[in-house]
C-alpha cells in the first residue's frame, strides 16, 4: 500500500506490483458498482403499451420516470465525481478505509430503489412526501458517507503529501453546503414535496458542473511547456 | 493529469500514481457503462412461451426484437469505438471534459429504453413512427455529444501533440456525415418508418466497419522491424 | 506471469506487457462479477404499490427484503475482501488457479438467488427453514472455495515470497472460524431459523470489520519517513 | 498500438501512455461484458412461491434452470478463458480485430437468451429440440468467432513474436475438436435433445479444466530462482 521509494530498482518492480492491486481492486469494484447502479436506472423506464391510443400523450404523461432517471443519474454521477476526488489524491489505503468504501458502495447500489420509489409516487395521486423523504434520506446518507471517507483518509494521512491544502479543503467547501441543503430539503419536502424534488435536481447539477474547476486550474498553473 | 517529464525519478513514481487515476477512473466508469448498456439489451428478448404451439413460428415472428437488439448493439458498439478514438489520443482531462463524458454516458445508459420502444412498436400494428423518431433522436443526441466531447478535447489541447493532424480530423470526417444521416433519417422516418430502421442499421454497421482502418495504416507505416 | 527481473530494459517493456494481462484480466473479471452481483441485489427490492393505503406501514412490513439485502451485501463484500487478500500477495497464477477462481465467481454470481429466496420466505408465514438452509449452504460453499483458492495459491508458491508468514496465516485464522460458524448455523437454522439469519448477519459484519486490521499494522510498521 | 522500443526514455512515457489504452479499453469492455453476461444468468432463476406446499419438491423440480445456469456459466467461462488466451499474447491490435472482438461480445451478451430458452423448454413437456438447437447454434457461433479472432490475430502478426509456436497452436488443438463436437451435438440434438444438453455440459467443463495446463509449464520452465 505504501509507495515508499524502494532502495533497489530491480526489486521494487516485483515488490510493488502486488501492493498496487490493493487500491486498484477497490477502485475497480467501485467503478463497477457506480457504472452498474447508474445503468440499472434504465430498467425502471416503462415503455407505453403497444395498444396505447395516443402514444405521444402516454409518453409525456410518463415524465416523472424520466425526471427521476435524470436526477438519479446526476446524483450518482456527482457521488462518483466526489469519490474520484478522494481517490485521486490517495497514496495508500487501510482496512478501515476499505470498509467505509464498502458502505459508500452499499448506498450507491441502493440508489435505484429510492429512484423507483420516487418515480412511482410522483406518478400517483398519492401524497408523494414519503417517497421524497426516503429519496432525500438515501442521498443524504450517501453524501455523508463520502464526506466521512474523505475525512478519514485525511486524518490518517492517506493523501499524497504533495497535494496543496486548498485542493483538499475544496472537497469540504462543496460537501458541507450540499449536505446542509439535503437536510433542509428533506424537512421542506415533508410539506412541499415538489420543492424537494426540484432541489434534489438543482444540487445534483450544481455538484456536477463546477466541482473540479478550481482544482484543474491549480495543477496546470506551474506546468512547463511540454516538449 | 499532465504527464510532464518529472525531474527526479524517485519522486515521479509516487507523484504520478494518483494523477494517473484521474483518466483511468473516467475510462473505467465509461467501459463499465458501455459494457452494461450493451449487455442489458438481452433482457428485453422474450422467450416463446413453453405452451406455444409452433415454437419456430413464434421465434420467427419475434424478428423485430432481434433486429432491435442487433441495431442497438451495433450502435452502442459504434459509440464505444468513437469514444475510444477520443480517449486514445488523450493525455490529460479537466472537469468540463469529465462532465461532458457523464452526459455521453447518460445517453449510452439510456439506449436500452428506445431499443425496447422500437422493438415493442415494430411488433405491433400501431404506426411505429413515434418509436422510430424517439430512437433516432436518442442516437442523434448520443453521436452529437460524442462529437462535442471530441471538439472540446481538441480545443483545449488535451490530445497528444504527437498525434498527426489527419488522425484527429478522421473523427470529424466520420462523425459529420453520420450525424447528418441521422437528421435525414429522423425526418424520413416520420413518413417511412421502415426506411429509418434500415438506415439506422446501415449507419451502425458502416460506422463499425472501417472506422479506424486508415488510422492503423498511419501509425504502422514508419515502424522499424521489431527485434 | 512470472515477474522475474528482465536482463534488458528495452525488451522487458514489450515482453512483460502481455504477461501482465494474465492476472489483470482475472482480476478485471472478478471485480466485474463481484460488482454486478452486489448491485443486482437491489432489483429484488419491491416498492410499495402507488395505491397502498399506509405507505409507511407497507415499507416497514417489507423489512425482510431490506435485511436480506444488507446481509447479502455484507456477505459478498466480505467475500470480496477475502478475495482481495488473496490476490494482493499473488505474483503469478496458473490454469488451475484460474479455474478455481471461476468456481468462486460462480458462487458469487449465484448469491442473488438465495438472497431472493431468503427475502421471500422470511416474509411469508411459511416455515423459512428451507430458505435459511439454502442461503447458509451457498455462503458456506463460497467461503469454502475462497479458502481452497488461498490454500492452492499457497501450496503452489504463487504468493510473493516477501510477504511475512503471519500475514498469510491471517487468512486462515479468519476463514476457519467463519466456515465453522456457518456449519453450526446451518444446523441450528433447521430448528431456529431466526438464529441462523442473525448469525449470518453477525459473521458478515465481523468479517468486514477487522479483517485486515492487523495486516495493515504489520506492513506499515518498519516504514521509513516519507520524504 | 505498436509497442516499438522508443529511442528516448523520457519521451516514451508520455507517448506510450495513450497508446496503451487502445487494447486496455478493448479488454476493459470485454471483461465487463463477460462479467455481466455471466452474472445476468442468475436473474432467470425462479424462487419457489411463498405459498408453495412442498418447497423442497418445488426446488428439486426446478433442476432444469440450475442445470442451464451451470452449463451457461461454464460455457461463458470457457469462452472467457479462450479470449484470455488470445489477448495474453497480443502486442498490438487493429481496427478489424476490434470489430471482430465486438462480434464475439455480441454473442457473449446474447448467451442469457438461449439459456433462458433452454431452461424454459427443458421444464415443459414440449419437445425441447428447438431450444437445444438454438442453444447449440449460439455456442457454436461464439466459439467459431473466437477461433476467427485468434486466426486473424495470428495472420496479422499481432501476437508477441517471443511466444513459442506450440503455445499458439495449443489454441487450435483445443478449439477445432470443440467446434466439431458442437456441430455433431447440434445434429444429434435434433433427435436426442438430452444427449446434446449433456454434451454441452461436458464440453464446457473439459474446456475449462485443462485448457492452459501445458501453457503454464512452458513459461515457468526456464525461470531462474526468484531472489
Q: What is the dihedral of CA A197, A79, B93, B104, to 10 degrees?
A: -50
What are the b/e assignments for C190-216, b being 16+ CB within 10 Å?
Answer: eeebeebbebbbebbbbbbeebbeebb
Per-residue confidence (pLDDT) for residue C23, from 0 to 100: 76
Helix (H, G, I), strand (E, B) or coil at D100: helix
Q: Are D101 and D153 in contact (CB under 8 A)?
A: no
Q: What is the DSSP string of A80-99?
A: HHHHHHHHTTBS---HHHHH
User: pLDDT per residue over A63-117, tens digit each?
Assistant: 888 988 999 999 999 999 899 988 888 888 888 888 899 999 999 999 999 998 8
Residues of A with Cβ-Cβ distance to C73 under 8 angstroms: 106, 109
Q: How many CB pairs under 8 A join A and C?
A: 129
Residues of D with Cβ-Cβ distance to C120 under 8 angstroms: 47-50
Residues of C with Cβ-Cβ distance to A123 under 8 angstroms: 50
Q: Is A8 within 8 Å of chain D by CB?
A: no
All three cell numbers of D48: 419457489
The pLDDT of residue C73 is above 90: yes
> Cβ separation of C120 and D32 shorter than 8 Å?
no
Per-residue confidence (pLDDT) for residue B169, from 0 to 100: 78
pLDDT category of residue A214 using cuts at 50, 70 and 90? very low
**Taking residues B142-163, what's their average pLDDT?**
88
End-to-end CA distance of chain B: 33
Instruction: Note the residue count of chain A.
Output: 227
The pLDDT of residue B107 is above 90: yes
Q: How many CB atoms lie within 10 A of CB B161?
A: 11
Helix (H, G, I), strand (E, B) or coil at D125: coil
CA angle at D187 for the pair D182 and D189, rounded to the nearest 5°: 85
When CB atoms are compared, the residue of B36, B40, B98 closest to A81 is B98
Q: Is D17 within 8 Å of chain C by CB?
A: no
Query: Among all residues of chain A, which has the CA nearest to that of B20?
Result: A88
pLDDT category of residue C150 using cuts at 50, 70 and 90? very high
Q: Is A212 within 8 Å of chain B by CB?
A: yes
Residues of C with Cβ-Cβ distance to A10 under 8 angstroms: 5
pLDDT category of residue C163 using cuts at 50, 70 and 90? confident
Interface probe with B: pick from D7, D16, D38, D99, most Cβ of B within 10 Å? D99
Per-residue confidence (pLDDT) for residue D44, from 0 to 100: 85
Distance CA D131, CA D118 (A): 5
Higher pLDDT, A29 or B223: A29
> Cβ separation of C105 and D38 shorter than 8 Å?
yes
Q: Is B226 within 8 Å of chain C by CB?
A: yes
**Taking residues A171-192, what's their average pLDDT?**
88
Lowest mean pLDDT among B178-182, C49-53, C73-77, D213-217: D213-217
What part of C 42-71 touches A (C-beta under 8 Å)?
Answer: 42-43, 45, 47-48, 50-52, 55-56, 59, 69-70
Interface probe with B: pick from C6, C12, C18, C32, most Cβ of B within 10 Å? C32
Residues of D with Cβ-Cβ distance to B36 under 8 angstroms: 32, 36
pLDDT category of residue A148 using cuts at 50, 70 and 90? very high
User: pLDDT per residue over C50-70, tens digit each?
Assistant: 666 677 888 888 888 898 899
Write down the residue that cell numbers 487450435 correspond to.
D172
Domain ranges of chain B: 12-211
Q: Is A15 within 8 Å of chain C by CB?
A: yes
Higher pLDDT, C19 or B45: B45
The pLDDT of residue D137 is above 50: yes
Residues of B with Cβ-Cβ distance to A210 under 8 angstroms: 95
Mean pLDDT of chain A: 78
Region label for C49, one of left (φ > 0), alpha (ψ between -120 and 50) or beta (otherwise): beta
Which residues 6+ apart lie within 8 Å of C68 measured at CB? C44, C115, C116, C118, C119, C122
CA distances from D202 to B215, C54, D96, D172 (A): 43, 53, 33, 19
Taking Cα atoms as reference points, which of B45, B52, B36, B35 lies closest to residue B66?
A: B45
CA distances from D11 to B161, C7, D16, D19 (A): 12, 22, 8, 13
pLDDT category of residue B220 using cuts at 50, 70 and 90? very low
The pLDDT of residue A5 is above 80: no
The pLDDT of residue D2 is above 50: no
User: Could you give the ipTM of this predicted complex?
Assistant: 0.79
Residues of B with Cβ-Cβ distance to C9 under 8 angstroms: none
Per-residue confidence (pLDDT) for residue B10, from 0 to 100: 33
End-to-end CA distance of chain A: 33
The pLDDT of residue C210 is above 70: no
Q: Is B10 within 8 Å of chain D by CB?
A: no
| Nearest-neighbour CA in chain C from A14: distance (Å) | 6
User: pLDDT per residue over D64-78, tens digit each?
Assistant: 889 889 999 999 999
What part of B 154-193 touches D (C-beta under 8 Å)?
Answer: 160, 162
Distance CA C119, CA C132 (A): 10
Helix (H, G, I), strand (E, B) or coil at C190: coil
Taking Cα atoms as reference points, which of B113, B106, B118 lies closest to residue B79?
A: B106
| Nearest-neighbour CA in chain C from D164: distance (Å) | 13
pLDDT category of residue D209 using cuts at 50, 70 and 90? low
Q: Is C96 within 8 Å of chain A by CB?
A: no
pLDDT category of residue C209 using cuts at 50, 70 and 90? low
Distance CA A58, CA B178 (A): 31
The chains found to touch D (3+ Cβ pairs under 8 angstroms) are A, B, C
Interface probe with B: pick from A5, A10, A50, most Cβ of B within 10 Å? A50
| Nearest-neighbour CA in chain A from D36: distance (Å) | 9
pLDDT category of residue B46 using cuts at 50, 70 and 90? confident
Mean pLDDT of chain B: 78
Lowest mean pLDDT among B160-169, B170-179, C7-16: C7-16
Distance CA A55, CA C204 (A): 48
CA distances from B42 to A45, C98, D33, D66 (A): 16, 27, 12, 20
Per-residue confidence (pLDDT) for residue D85, from 0 to 100: 86
When CB atoms are compared, the residue of D39, D51, D88 closest to C40 is D39
Three-class SS of chain B? CCCCCCCCHHHHHHHHHHHHHHHHHHHHHHHHHHHHHHHHHHHHCCCCCCCCCCHHHHHHHCHHHHHHHHHHHHHHHHHHHHHHHHHHCECCCCHHHHHHHHHHHHHHHHCHHHHHHHHHHHHCCCCCHHHHHHHHHHHHHHHHHHHHHHHHHHHCCCECCCCCHHHHHHHHHHHHHHHHHHHHHHHHHHHCHHHHHHHHHHHHHHHHCCCCHHHHHHHHCCCCCCC
Distance CA B46, CA A47 (A): 15
Interface probe with B: pick from A42, A66, A109, most Cβ of B within 10 Å? A42
pLDDT category of residue C123 using cuts at 50, 70 and 90? low
Which residues 6+ apart lie within 8 Å of B51 measured at CB? D124, D126
Per-residue confidence (pLDDT) for residue C54, from 0 to 100: 78
User: pLDDT per residue over B48-91, tens digit each?
Assistant: 876 666 778 888 888 888 988 999 999 999 999 899 988 888 88
Per-residue confidence (pLDDT) for residue B98, from 0 to 100: 87
Higher pLDDT, D112 or C208: D112
Which of B15-24, C132-141, C167-176, D191-200 tops mean pLDDT?
Answer: C132-141
> Cβ separation of D15 and B42 shorter than 8 Å?
no
Using the 8-state DSSP alphabet, how is residue D91 labeled?
Answer: S
Distance CA C69, CA C56 (A): 19
pLDDT category of residue D52 using cuts at 50, 70 and 90? low
pLDDT category of residue D127 using cuts at 50, 70 and 90? low
pLDDT category of residue B209 using cuts at 50, 70 and 90? low
Q: How many CB pairs under 8 A join C and D?
A: 134
Using the 8-state DSSP alphabet, how is residue C42 labeled?
Answer: G
Percent of chain A past pLDDT 70, that is, above it, reads: 77
**Taking residues B143-153, what's their average pLDDT?**
92
Give the containing element (helix H, strand E) for D185. helix D165-191
The chains found to touch A (3+ Cβ pairs under 8 angstroms) are B, C, D
Q: Which residues pair with B159 in a beta bridge?
A: B90
Taking Cα atoms as reference points, which of C51, B86, D41, B182 lies closest to residue A126?
A: C51
Per-residue confidence (pLDDT) for residue B102, from 0 to 100: 93
**Taking residues C165-175, what's their average pLDDT?**
78
Q: Are B197 and B67 in contact (CB under 8 A)?
A: yes
Q: What are phi and psi of A182, to 5 degrees?
A: -65, -40
Q: Are C201 and C71 in contact (CB under 8 A)?
A: yes
Residues of A with Cβ-Cβ distance to C77 under 8 angstroms: 102, 105-106
What part of C 117-146 touches A (C-beta under 8 Å)?
Answer: none
Per-residue confidence (pLDDT) for residue C126, from 0 to 100: 61
Region label for D4, one of left (φ > 0), alpha (ψ between -120 and 50) or beta (otherwise): beta
pLDDT category of residue B136 using cuts at 50, 70 and 90? very high
Query: Among all residues of chain B, which has the CA nearest to that of D41?
Result: B43
Q: Is A14 within 8 Å of chain D by CB?
A: yes
The pLDDT of residue C21 is above 80: no
All three cell numbers of B47: 422467450
Amino acid at each position: 500500500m505504501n509507495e515508499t521509494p524502494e532502495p533497489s530498482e530491480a526489486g521494487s518492480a516485483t515488490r510493488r506490483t502486488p501492493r498496487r492491486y490493493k487500491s486498484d481492486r477497490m477502485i475497480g469494484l467501485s467503478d463497477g458498482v457506480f457504472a452498474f447502479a447508474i445503468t440499472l436506472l434504465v430498467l425502471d423506464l416503462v415503455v407505453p403499451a403497444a395498444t396505447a391510443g395516443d402514444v405521444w400523450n402516454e409518453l409525456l404523461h410518463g415524465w416523472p420516470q424520466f425526471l427521476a432517471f435524470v436526477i438519479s443519474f446526476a446524483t450518482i454521477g456527482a457521488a462518483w465525481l466526489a469519490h474520484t476526488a478522494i481517490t485521486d489524491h490517495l497514496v495508500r489505503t487501510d482496512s478501515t478505509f476499505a470498509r467505509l468504501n464498502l458502505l459508500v458502495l452499499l448506498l450507491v447500489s441502493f440508489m435505484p430503489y429510492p429512484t423507483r420509489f420516487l418515480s412511482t409516487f410522483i406518478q400517483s395521486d398519492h401524497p408523494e412526501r414519503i417517497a421524497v423523504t426516503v429519496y432525500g434520506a438515501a442521498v443524504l446518507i450517501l453524501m455523508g458517507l463520502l464526506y466521512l471517507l474523505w475525512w478519514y483518509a485525511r486524518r490518517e494521512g492517506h493523501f499524497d503529501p504533495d497535494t496543496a491544502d486548498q485542493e483538499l479543503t475544496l472537497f469540504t467547501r462543496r460537501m458541507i453546503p450540499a449536505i446542509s441543503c439535503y437536510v433542509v430539503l428533506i424537512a421542506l419536502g415533508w410539506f412541499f414535496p415538489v420543492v424537494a424534488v426540484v432541489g434534489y435536481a438543482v444540487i445534483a447539477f450544481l455538484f456536477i458542473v463546477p466541482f473540479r474547476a478550481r482544482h484543474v486550474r491549480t495543477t496546470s498553473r506551474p506546468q512547463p511547456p511540454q516538449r
